[in-house]
Structures are given as structure tokens and as C-alpha cells.
């Protein structure tokens, strides 16, 4: 990815080949399957470097259920951009200031929890886009422009409107019932179905592989394919992920750092126990 620099002349794009958000969209439109690493508790630039070395395609920040230090969050997003990893983050709620802070620190995809109606999405789109497409306030010079001074605001605003992705998050029965109007809403770039809460809503808590859960998810996936919108989820395991890919799933918010630490640490301790305890 080209690195912006302070010598960028007026009227030139900071990213002649497309910024991280446009690159993310382009890869999905080409049908590439993208795997994202989740940050669900810890935000540190070092974790981003580890995710980049592991080969993840993007970073997803779970910002609905956890408190993050604002400085640590902003530094982590900037580190992701510097390492070629687009960042998608879930906004805690449908609220202008919450969305704006994520955008200004450099997040290129905002995911709306409990998406249930087209009206929500039309309001949400206004927060994401600059006029005339929306009502986002212009505030360049932060992570949104990699801390480069913008000399041509007109061009930058237009680029930003292309950079940002509106990510639907369906996780309720109402969202499922309104899936057609949600998926077909102009401006929707990606649709994610969260199997955890969705399994609760569909009467099978903790069992995302149950037909009562998978069936409705597959219906939403088919709607996404019909409308040309990339569908994503979190797979219960790699075998389930393979099945979803076969059906047309294009992105995964795969696992978070707590899961990686627990899995790796448990495996190491178990290995030691086998030879120290004679198993």
C-alpha cells in the first residue's frame, strides 16, 4: 500500500491505488474470501503487527461490549493502517459522535449492531458520508488522513466517501424478518450475521450450527448474493467456515486475541503435562 507523505502535492490522492477502505471493497467485489482478526479486549500496536504477520486481511475491533483506552485505540488503528490492514469497528450505538470518533481515528468500516430497519441505515449512512451524500463533519488531519495535512479538501472528501464501508450487523429476529429491506438499502457495503446473539434470538442459544440458526442465516446470505452485497459471519470452527465459503460467504470476523491466547497457552501447558506427569 502506498504510504502518504507530507510532500503529496495539492489535488493528488493520498493513495493513488486506493486507500485501505477501497482496497477492502475491491477485494470483496473480486470475490476474495477475507479473514479478519478480532481485537476484543486489548488494543495495542504490537498485536496488529502479530495479526499482520499471521496473514489476516483486516482487523475487526469489538467496540460495543468493552471499554478501550481512547489513545490506545487510536494508536492501534493507525498501526493497522501503517501495516496495510483495514480496520472495521462496531460502533457502540447509532449515535453521531460515537461514529465520528471511530472514523477520525482511521477506521474504514463501521458495523452497526442490532441492525433492524432501513430507517436505521439511512440515518447511519448520513453519519458516515460527507455532503452531499451525508452529514459527516469534515475533520481531516487525524488518523483519517494518516495525520497528513490536507491541501485539497474537495478531493479528500470525495475519496473518503468511497473509503468508508457501511457494515450491517444482523443479530435479532426483527433484523432477520426485515433482511430484504436491510440488504437492499442503497449504500450498504457488507452484511455480517452474528451467530452468537442470533442463536439466542432463534431459540438455540450457543448452538449456531442448529438448522433453526443456519437456515435463516443461509436465507440472508442468498439475499446478499442477489443484491451483490458481501456476506460475512463468524464460523463455529474451520469445517463450518469451509461450508460457508462453499455457499458464498466472503468475509469472516474469525477469532479474538483472548481466544488465541487461551488456545495457545492451553496447548502448551497440556504438552508439558504429558511429559511431566507421565501421560
| Rounded Cα–Cα distance for residues 233 and 193 (Å) | 5
Res. 1 pLDDT band, cuts 50 70 90: very low
- Burial (CB count <10 Å: 0-12, 13-18, 19+), residue 178: middle
C-alpha span between 218 and 202 (Å, rounded): 14
Does the pLDDT at position 11 exceed 70? no
Confidence of residue 16 (pLDDT cuts 50, 70, 90): low
Cell readout for 241 is 467456515
Residue 220 gets the label, from left (phi > 0), alpha (psi -120 to 50) or beta, of alpha
How confident is the model at residue 277, as a pLDDT? 84
Neighbours of 1 (CB within 10 A): 15
DSSP E strands in 142-276: the ranges are: 165-170, 190-193, 231-233, 251-256
Give CA–CA dist 183/175, Å, rounded: 10
pLDDT at 10 over 60: no
User: pTM here?
Assistant: 0.91
C-alpha cell at 186: 442503497
Asked, as a colleague might, if the bond just before 21 is cis with ω within 30 of 0, I would say no
Going by pLDDT thresholds of 50, 70 and 90, the confidence category of residue 18 is confident
| pLDDT of 82 strictly over 90 | yes
What is the mean pLDDT of the segment spanning 36-62? Answer: 97
Strand (E) positions, the chain?
A: 34-39, 58-61, 87-90, 109-112, 165-170, 190-193, 231-233, 251-256
pLDDT for residue 14? 64
Mean of pLDDT values over 14-38 = 92
Domain residue ranges of the chain, discontinuous segments joined by +:
20-276
For 114-166, how does the pLDDT look when each residue is reduced to its tens digit (9 = 90+)?
Answer: 999 999 999 999 999 999 999 999 999 999 999 999 999 999 999 999 999 99
Cell 446478499 belongs to which residue? 224
Compute the average pLDDT of residues 6-19.
58
Q: What is the pLDDT of residues 209-232, one digit of tens each?
A: 999 999 999 999 999 999 999 999
DSSP state of 2: P
Return the C-alpha cell found at 41: 479486549
Asked whether 65 and 90 are in contact (CB, 8 A), the reply is no
Helices (H) and strands (E) in the chain, counts: 12, 8
CATH number of 20-276: 3.20.20.60
Q: What average pLDDT score do residues 256-262 get?
A: 96
85, 67, 260: which is closest to 76 by C-alpha?
A: 85
- Phi/psi of residue 252, each to 5°? -130, 130
Beta bridge partners of 87: 59
pLDDT value for 279: 56
Residue 9 has pLDDT above 50, yes or no: no
Which run of H or E residues covers position 230?
none
Residue partners of 179: CB distance under 8 A and separation at least 6: 170, 219, 220, 223
Query: What percent of the chain is modeled with pLDDT above 90?
Result: 90
* Residue 222, burial from CB neighbour count under 10 angstroms (0-12, 13-18, 19+): middle
Mean pLDDT for the chain overall: 93
pLDDT of residue 238 exceeding 80, the answer is yes
- For the stretch 172-212, pLDDT in tens is 999 999 999 999 999 999 999 999 999 999 999 999 999 99
Which grid coordinates belong to 131? 455532503
Tell me: pLDDT of 268 over 80.
yes
Name the nearest CA neighbour of 129 among 187, 182, 168: 187
Residue 12 has pLDDT above 70, yes or no: no
- Measured between its terminal Cα atoms, the distance across the chain in Å is 50
Amino acid at each position: 500500500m502506498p504510504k502518504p507523505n507530507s510532500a503529496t502535492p495539492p489535488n493528488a490522492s493520498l493513495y493513488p491505488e486506493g486507500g485501505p477502505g477501497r482496497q477492502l471493497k475491491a477485494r470483496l467485489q473480486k470475490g476474495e474470501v477475507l479473514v479478519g482478526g478480532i481485537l476484543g479486549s486489548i488494543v495495542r500496536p504490537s498485536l496488529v503487527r502479530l495479526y499482520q504477520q499471521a496473514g489476516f486481511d483486516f482487523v475487526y475491533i469489538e467496540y460495543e461490549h468493552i471499554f478501550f483506552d481512547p489513545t490506545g485505540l487510536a494508536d492501534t488503528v493507525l498501526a493497522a493502517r501503517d501495516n496495510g490492514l483495514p480496520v472495521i469497528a462496531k460502533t457502540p450505538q447509532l449515535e453521531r459522535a460515537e461514529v465520528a470518533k471511530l472514523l477520525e481515528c482511521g477506521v474504514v468500516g463501521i458495523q452497526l449492531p442490532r441492525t433492524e430497519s432501513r430507517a436505521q441505515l439511512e440515518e447511519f449512512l448520513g453519519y458516515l458520508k460527507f455532503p452531499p451524500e451525508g452529514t459527516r463533519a469534515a475533520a481531516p488531519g487525524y488518523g483519517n488522513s494518516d495525520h497528513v495535512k490536507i491541501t485539497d479538501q474537495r478531493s479528500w472528501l470525495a475519496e473518503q466517501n468511497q473509503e468508508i464501508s457501511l457494515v450491517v450487523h444482523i443479530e435479532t429476529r426483527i433484523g432477520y424478518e426485515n433482511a430484504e429491506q436491510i440488504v437492499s438499502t442503497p449504500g450498504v457495503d457488507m452484511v455480517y450475521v452474528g451467530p452468537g446473539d442470533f442463536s439466542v434470538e432463534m431459540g438455540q442459544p450457543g448452538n449456531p450450527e442448529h438448522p433453526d440458526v443456519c437456515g435463516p442465516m443461509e436465507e440472508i446470505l442468498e439475499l446478499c448474493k442477489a443484491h451483490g452485497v458481501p456476506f460475512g459471519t463468524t464460523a463455529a470452527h474451520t469445517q463450518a467456515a469451509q461450508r460457508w465459503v462453499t455457499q458464498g460467504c466472503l468475509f469472516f470476523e474469525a477469532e479474538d486475541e483472548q481466544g488465541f491466547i487461551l488456545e495457545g497457552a492451553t496447548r502448551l501447558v497440556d504438552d508439558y503435562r504429558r511429559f511431566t506427569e507421565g501421560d
